Structure 1
Amino acid sequence: MTTRFLRSSSVLIGLAVCGILPQLHAQSSPPTEWVDPDTGHRVVQLSTEPGSESLYFNLNPFTPDGRKMVITSPDGISLVDLATRSVEKIVSGRPHIIMVGRKTGQIYYVDSKTENGATSRLVCSIDPATKAVREILKLERGQSVSTVNADETLLGGTFTERTDWDTNSYFEGGPNRRTEARTADQQRDSKGQLMVERLDKHYPMGLFFHNIATGETKSVNRGTDWLGHLQFSPTDPDLLMFCHEGPWHKVDRIWTIRSDGSDLKLIHKRTMIMEIAGHEFWSADGKSIWYDLQTPRGEDFWVAGYEVSSGVRTQYHLQRDEWSVHFNVSPGLTFFSGDGGDAKMVARAENGKWLYLFRPELLADRSDGNLDTKGLIRTGVFHAEKLVNMGKHNYALEPNAMFSPDMKWLIFRSNMSGATQAYAVELEKGDAK
């Protein structure tokens, strides 16, 4: 396989001949590329600044040509060239990234602006080539934008009407919100209780869509459910997936709705007490929705799919140690990925700290026409391959793995070497270079 990420090995060979290589190993700086001795897969570090992260697993970080990828850093947003691994700072400060536009490659983010002593939050976009910044929407208190539609004509967000803004603020702002006050472990330990408390508040909420060209904002689906995890379809500009937030065993989580407020649909209806489904994501072609399904919670594990046009359902079974915080899928549904988990998480995995590549296999239908299989779930299994040993990773930081556009790498974030960085592991095995 071509390994465009990697530097030439000639420098390392020369250092070894000169007797310098042992000195490098003695230095405190961790390596930036290596072959995992447990899996045989090459891992490379993509970011250069400690505290950098690849994006949340369901946010598009890639430019439309697939050549560059957005990451966050402690003081801004940067763009990584996936061929050369060069890193370019695009936005400075403390912006909250939304995603990269699928049509134009504009980078959408939320930033703060202070004028005359007053600070406001603005949804902005920046052209990564010209660096031209456009201010799109001034957010009112309680508004949050977390997705941009396929043709970049609409922003999708939520609004919350409440009076006690100083409480439970940990959950306002989405999965990329940086929280300074507590360590990652402290956040994880308290998250469950905070989620229960937030769900019980029943704040008035709703969805809104903002037309970027006209400036018109339309509110839909008002209620008191806790809404979040908004994701526009990658191909249908009017179809939004969102969730009812809260502990998964207490809510019917996965929903879709059209941008005019019509066709509200529950995607997964539970069939048993303590069944849970969540961490939903779109396939690249927008034809299906996939999610983590457990029947019941913490006991039996599936990755489930729902075909939007037909309603056909598919479920792939996996083992306890293969359960992952987040799953993902490649174009064409050829591969799935998992970012593993530790013993504190819902699967209670004894050996789950790995990045996985899953090859799906549907089980053959042997009913031979004796049964009416229309409407039944298609079932299959995952065949797992371990890509990276995450034994040194603290899962208070979720790896959030995703496939690179050229399908040569699985990109993730990790603190395995100390500070958080963005990494990629090569899907095919190869010798170190």
Structure 2
Amino acid sequence: MMACAFSGTAHAQIGKRFPSERKVVKDPVTGTMLTFLTSKPHGDSKIYPTHPQWTSDGKWVVFRSRLAGGEALAVNEQTGDIVQVSEGGYTGMLNLARKAMKLYFMRPDSNKGRLQIVEVDLARLFADSAAGTMKAASEYQRVAGITPLGMEAGGDMALDADEEWAYFRVGKDEASKHLAPGVKPEQPFGPRGMGAGPNGIARMNVKTGEIKHVVSVPFQIGHIQANLFNPGEIVFCWETGGKSPQRTWTVKADGSGLRPLYPEAPYEWVTHEAVISKDEVAMAIMGHRKIPEGAGGVGAPATDVGGANPGQDAAWGPSGTREKPSGLAIVNLRTREMTIAGQTPSGSGLWHVHGSSDGRWAVGDDFSRSVYLIDRKTREMITLTTGHKDTAADHPHPTFNADGTKIEIQSAMLSEDGRTMNICIVPVPEEWLKRK
């Protein structure tokens, strides 16, 4: 779902308003009051946890949907009003600025093979939409720059904390020009045939359109994200569609400081890293795979969380079992210390993870689509919500808001087909928020 970009011809005008679908539903298992900001089967999905979900004023949640023909939408958390916030389609990741009321994304240019980076003035857009005085799309959307032909730009664009530079992936030919001498491109890794390189990262100044190369690496790049609290710092991954030889990486905007973020062992399955504060990155060290028969001693039975779950292929190698420490891990970018905040006692273990920027909470989902909250000080863990249907089109992907008081997920709880997802807000329990 993350890699799948909603793009294409707009079916509605920017600023168009849609009726509220807001519903408050009590979780049937945990009793948590869930606020569904969308509740109809449009095929909604949230922005990936590596990126902000709320506008800088904290009032609107931006999401992807087919409600407006594949255009980006925003929903007001209090009123439930839904507003179209793009026109002309987009590709890749939606980027919300944390300081300005701006949205950035990529979309195909009229010249095939090139991409535009587009800036949307959300403050003007919301005001004119509410007043019924919408103007042409060009009054709200500005082309910040266009990538050169042959760069093969695309992927997970990320807006820097300074809100002046946007990072994006470049293809093999462009990356090869900047690859260090003697570095050999990696071959595909794992049963999905992904991971081969080289790939690179470039950056564009969204005020001037200037483009600079950042770094080239010998493998396939995925999940480019900026440290939203520290300008000029990038985190990205070696993308294989599963276990990587070395999943997490970090580099500075000028190309210096390239290194593994968390140097992993062959038995560790590291995935779904997300920058959560100025100095910290959350990630999952998976414990979702069976321990081979006899591994626990002569005649010991195999243990398994179910072959239908992802990542069970033997071709991934000896990783992802609970023979070694696993769970929701948090790595400090400065000290390089890693701690494990928690892990589910059974099942797949935590899969997509995030944390509050104040360091109080961590959150994760698992293969059952349940969402777990962890108090990082006491290590207490509770189930916030479940019943989101393991048949859903994707995982919940929990992501905290700026002040760490609530979490956005995507959920199929209300869907009749068991797959279609909606946008849902889960509160941190009031009694937890009162803790000192």
Shared fold per TM-score greater than 0.5: yes
Which structure is higher in RCO with an 8 Å CA cutoff and minimum separation 6?
A: 1
Give yes or no for the alignment of 1:147 onto 2:158: yes
Decide which of 57, 68, 75 is 1:65's aligned counterpart: 57
- 1:386-425 CA-to-partner distances (Å, cap 9, x unmatched) read 1222352424412111123454432111223223211112
The match for 2:295 is: none
Partner of 1:106: 102
After TM superposition, give the deviation of residue 233 of structure 1 in Å: 0.7
1:392 aligns with 2:393: no
Give the deviation of 1:355 after TM superposition.
Answer: 1.5
- For 1:333, the equivalent position in structure 2 comes to 359
Which amino acid letter does the alignment assign opposite residue 112 of structure 1? P
Q: Could you list the runs of 5+ residues in structure 1 that have no partner in the other structure?
A: 1-29, 164-191, 343-352, 363-381
**Letter aligned with residue 427 of structure 1:** V
Q: Secondary structure at the match of 1:198?
A: coil
- State the 1:161 CA deviation: 2.5
Q: CA deviation at 1:268?
A: 1.1
Report the Cα distance in structure 2 between the residues aligned to 1:195 and 1:154, rounded to whole angstroms. 36
| C-alpha distance 282-249 of structure 1, shift in aligned 2 (>3 A) | same
Contact in 1 for aligned 2:38/2:423 (Cα 8 Å): yes
Q: Does 1:413 align with 2:429?
A: no
1:307 Cα deviation after fit = 1.7
8 Å contact from structure 1 (residues 341, 395) kept in 2: no
Report the CA distance between 1:224 and its aligned residue: 2.5
> 1:31 and 1:69, CA in 2 relative to 1: closer, same or farther beyond 3 A?
closer
Contact 1:66 1:406 in 2 (8 A): no
The 8 Å contact of residues 399 and 407 in structure 2, kept in 1 or not, is answered as yes
* 1:136 lines up with 2:144 in the alignment: yes
SS of the residue aligned with 1:224?
A: strand
Does the 8 A contact of 1:33 with 1:43 survive in 2?
Answer: yes
**Are residues 1:38 and 2:29 paired?**
yes
Deviation at 1:361, TM superposition (A): 4.1
5 Å-filtered alignment, 1:255-294, equals 255-271=249-265, 273-284=266-277, 286-294=278-286
Shift of 1:120: 4.9
How far residue 208 of structure 1 moved from its aligned partner, in angstroms, is 0.9
Matches for 1:10-409 after TM superposition, within 5 Å? 32-47=23-38, 50-74=42-66, 75=69, 76-96=71-91, 97-114=93-110, 120-131=114-125, 132-139=140-147, 140=149, 142-144=152-154, 146-161=157-172, 196-199=192-195, 202-246=196-240, 249-271=243-265, 273-284=266-277, 286-294=278-286, 296-299=319-322, 300-318=325-343, 319-321=345-347, 323-342=349-368, 353-361=369-377, 382-409=379-406
Report the Cα offset of residue 93 of structure 1. Answer: 4.8
Q: Is the 8 A contact 1:121 1:138 kept in 2?
A: yes
**C-alpha separation between the residues in 2 aligned to 1:194 and 1:250?**
8
Whether the 8 Å CA contact 1:42–1:429 is kept in 2: the answer is: no
Unmatched runs of 5 consecutive residues or more in structure 2:
1-20, 126-139, 175-187, 288-318, 432-436
Q: Return the letter of the residue paired with 1:32.
A: K
In structure 2, the partner of 1:424 is 425
Task: Measure, in 2, the Cα distance between the counterparts of 1:204 and 1:311.
Answer: 26
For residues 118 and 144 of structure 2, the distance between their equivalents in structure 1, rounded to whole angstroms, comes to 5
In structure 2, C-alpha distance between the alignment counterparts of 1:324 and 1:417, rounded to whole Å:
23
Aligned pair in 2 of structure 1 residues 120, 210: CA closer, same or farther (>3 Å)?
closer
User: What is the letter of the counterpart of residue 274 of structure 2?
Assistant: F
Partner of 2:309: none
TM-score relative to the length of structure 2: 0.70
Q: Structure 2: how far apart are the matches of 1:429 and 1:237?
A: 33
Which shows bigger deviation, 298-307 or 100-109? 298-307
Q: Distance in 2 between matches of 1:223 and 1:308?
A: 20
Contact 1:322–1:338, Cα closer than 8 Å, also in 2 = no
Contact preservation (8 Å) 1:322, 1:356: no
More displaced 10-residue stretch of structure 1: 31-40 or 260-269: 31-40
| Helix, strand or coil at the partner of 1:130 | helix
Write the letter of the residue equivalent to 1:333: G
TM-score, reference length from structure 1: 0.71
Distance apart, 1:162 and its partner CA: 6.1
The answer (yes or no) to whether the contact 1:41–1:429 under 8 Å persists in 2 is: no
Q: Residue 257 of structure 1 contacts residue 264 of structure 1 at CA under 8 Å; is this kept in 2?
A: yes
Q: Is the 8 A contact 2:29 2:387 kept in 1?
A: no
Identity score, percent: 20
RMSD: 2.8
The C-alpha deviation readout for 1:18-48, integer Å capped at 9, x for no partner, is xxxxxxxxxxxx9932211211111121025
Are the equivalent residues in 2 in contact too, given 1:327–1:338 (CA < 8 A)?
yes
Cα 1:125–1:246, aligned 2, differ >3 Å: closer, same or farther? same
**1:100 CA displacement:** 0.1
Going from structure 1 to structure 2, the CA distance change for 1:305 and 1:409 (only over 3 Å counts) comes to closer
User: Which letter maps to 2:255?
Assistant: G
1:320 shift after superposition: 3.0
| Deviates further, 56-65 or 393-402 | 393-402
